[in-house]
Amino acid sequence: MRMTGAQMVLAGLEAENVDVVFGLPGGAVLTLYDAIYQKGLRHILTRHEQGAAHAADGYARASGKTGVVIATSGPGATNLITGIATAYMDSIPIVAITGQVARPAIGTDAFQEADITGITMPITKHNYLVKDINELPRIIKEAFHIAGSGRKGPVLIDLPKDVQAEEGQFEYPQQVEIAGYKPTFTGHTGQIVRAAAAIKKAQRPLIYSGGGVISSSAHEELLELSRRASIPVTTTLTGLGSVPYDYELFLGMPGMHGTYAANHAINEADLLITIGARFDDRVTGKLDSFAPGATVIHIDIDPAEIGKNVTADIPIVGDVKYVLKELLKRFKPADTRAWCERVLAWKSSYPVSFKQEPGCLKPQPVIEEFYRLAGDDVIVTTDVGQHQMWAAHFCNLKSPRTFISSGGLGTMGFGFPAALGAQAAFPERTVVCIAGDGSFQMNSQELATAVYYKLPVKVAIINNQYLGMVRQWQKFFYEGRYSQTSLAGSPDFVRLAEAYGATGYRAVRPEEVTAVVQKALNTPGPVVIDFQVDPEENVLPMVAPNTSIIEMIGGEGF
């Protein structure tokens, strides 16, 4: 049938089972938004394009589907960049649709023109500038296929406004064939056999897993491998939730703010089974001292990650769920009892902890109590900084897709709009955003979105009146010279919430925490709680940059 370009976009979204989009209109997408009006597609209007991108990202992380965001040309499109880069670094599938000036005006520095395909080339899996209406159905199909397959990630479609109004024949492809894009899913059988032999031989094996396990829904296979082979597990920040926190052989998170047990297990392992992780510098520390005595198995869907930072002795390119299923058929466990006893002794002797001081509100018990009262089905999002690391340690996660945080890019301002996206995906579930007073102010305008669309996200602001993680680095590595990290002059967050029509609460003493959290959870609609915590509290343990991960500040109790 014949359709306008705008109608083709909506027909393509319908074919891809898209149930909600996030965005902000402008001149170059008016035709598309008119089609949205006529079609009745569920659209959530954010108050900033960056908020829309993060909301689409949070929707994708929570649901496992591809998130969709729409923005106009020029500044609308460029405001998406931080959100697109955040999704790219963490391999999150989103499709961004941007308006563009009419085709004859491209390259003339027309009003609100920006070369968004050129700008986003390094931070997208692929992008398109649509020049022919007849190619649009294929482009939409390819965009969703690329975003949601292989190593997932963002794809951008730049749509000139005259293409949106032009008519063409709409035939949506059933299949996708893209020359040069053929992700390997199955894994090499010979390498899987080698991995099984290495597991049988190992005396001190360790599983180091990442966000790829969640992306491929391989958490059950991961846990089965650990249980059957009696192999301890450590997971990266973006992999948290893939292993229940109370699983005996779970050691927590490794790296710069990792646990004593996880970091020392990596240091002493003779076999490191790396699953859907990329040896990020925040995990490895000084590379030449990382896992110095270990044979490395590396399973990853992206061949570019194999050997990029750490040499893999047994590389396996493929979808981790498929590879783990094949590995489970072939391996025979070794006797790891002595190793497990040693690792579990570290876990028991050196847990992540904090020192409670009388009358002082500490951030760690605030987060722990919020999570406990919210229940195991809660979805937690975070911003970036100290509160993010405390959340990683003190949210007792039991299942995947319940901890949503910006890992690779470390994007302040991510948590709250991501929570709105997660809440849009699961209206009946409790969604909690753990934010810092610095991070929250970067996208606090989305309170209007939360109130208008009745998205009942509960926000816990860990208010220490600083850019806390930056202040911590200044304390440890810059002799306490706190240059431009005080957030004096921040607003009254309770009154800010109320100004937007949300509910605001405050807690300043330890004995107030339980009651105020219960009150927030029982209050309809979005709620902001201002927890005024100890401004000098630090995230410990910590590893200084470019040192071994076993050189931990506060690593043996604090």
Contact 58, 418 (CB under 8 A): yes
- Cis peptide leading into 541, omega within 30 of 0? yes
Domain limits, the chain: 2-169, 189-349, 363-538
Q: Which residue among the candidates 16, 49, 369, 537 is catalytic per the annotation?
A: 49
SS3 of 558, please? Answer: coil
pLDDT above 90 for 423: yes
Sort strands 2-4 and 43-45 into parallel, antiparallel or unpaired: unpaired
Question: What number is the average pLDDT over the span 484-495?
Answer: 97
How many Cβ atoms from other residues are within 10 Å of residue 30's Cβ?
Answer: 16
Q: Round to whole Å and give the CA distance between 473 and 482.
A: 9
* Catalytic one of 65, 125, 152, 161: 161
C-alpha to C-alpha distance for 296 and 271, rounded to whole angstroms: 6
* Alpha-carbon gap, residue 96 to 509, rounded angstroms: 44
Rounded to 5°, angle at Cα 301 from 296 and 304: 75
Q: Are 255 and 189 contacting, i.e. CB atoms less than 8 angstroms apart?
A: no
CA 146 and chain centroid, separation? 19
Q: Which of 253, 469, 542, 552 is catalytic?
A: 469
Work out the angle between the directed axes of helices 513-522 and 363-374 (0-180°, nearest 10): 40
CA distance 31 to 54: 24
CA 133 to chain centre: 35
pLDDT score of 555: 64
Share of the chain above pLDDT 90, in %: 98
* Catalytic site residue from 111, 357, 518, 556: 111
Which amino acid, residue 495?
R
Cα distance between the two ends of the chain: 69
Residue 454 known to be catalytic: no
* Tally of CB atoms within 10 A around 17: 9
Mean pLDDT calculated for residue range 191-203: 97
Annotated catalytic residue within 112, 445, 465, 532 = 112
Average pLDDT over residues 363-376: 96
How would you label 198-225 residue by residue, b for 16+ Cβ within 10 Å and e otherwise?
bbeebebbbbbbbbbbbbbebbebbbeb
Q: 2-169 adopts what CATH topology?
A: Rossmann fold (3.40.50)
Please tell me the distance from the alpha carbon of residue 452 to that of residue 354, in angstroms, as a whole number: 39
Instruction: Tokens for 242, please give them.
Output: 């893939």
* CA pair distance 370, 380, nearest whole angstrom: 10
Using one digit for the tens of pLDDT, what is the confidence trace for 371-395? 999 998 999 999 999 999 999 999 9
Our answer to whether residue 389 is catalytic in this structure is: no
pLDDT tens-digit readout, 1-15: 899 999 999 999 999
pLDDT tier at 94, thresholds 50, 70, 90: very high
Q: Catalytic residue at 552? A: no
Please report the pLDDT score of residue 554 as a whole number.
85
CATH number at 363-538: 3.40.50.970
Catalytic annotation on 112?
Answer: yes
What's the confidence (pLDDT) of residue 217?
97
Mean pLDDT of 237-256: 97
pLDDT over threshold 70, residue 557: no
Banded pLDDT at 524 (limits 50, 70, 90): very high
E-strand ranges in 429-510 read 431-436, 458-463, 503-507
Query: Is the pLDDT at 425 greater than 90, yes or no?
Result: yes
pLDDT of residue 298: 98
The yes-or-no answer to whether 189-349 and 363-538 have a common fold is yes
Q: What is the mean pLDDT of residues 17-24?
A: 98
DSSP string across 149-191: SSS---EEEEEEHHHHHSEEE----SS---TT-----S--HHH
Kindly state the tokens that stand for 387. Answer: 């509160």
**Of 455, 407, 385, 390, which Cα lies nearest the Cα of 427?**
455
189-349 adopts what CATH topology? Rossmann fold (3.40.50)
Ramachandran angles phi, psi of 269, nearest 5°: -65, 145
Give pLDDT, residue 336: 97
Is 220 known to be catalytic? no
Q: Give the model confidence (pLDDT) of 164-183 as tens digits.
A: 999 999 999 999 999 999 99
Q: Rounded CA gap, 269 and 273, in Å?
A: 10
pLDDT for the residue 556 = 63
What does the pLDDT average to over 43-65?
A: 98
Amino acid at 216: S
Is the per-residue pLDDT at 558 higher than 80? no
The band of 208, judged by pLDDT with boundaries at 50, 70 and 90, is: very high
Q: What separation in angstroms does the CA of 502 have from each of 14, 45, 63, 427, 469?
A: 33, 17, 26, 17, 28
- 265, HSE (Cβ side, Cα atoms, 13 Å): 39
Query: Residue 356: CB partners within 8 Å, gap ≥ 6?
Result: 362, 365, 510
Mean pLDDT, the chain, whole residue set? 97
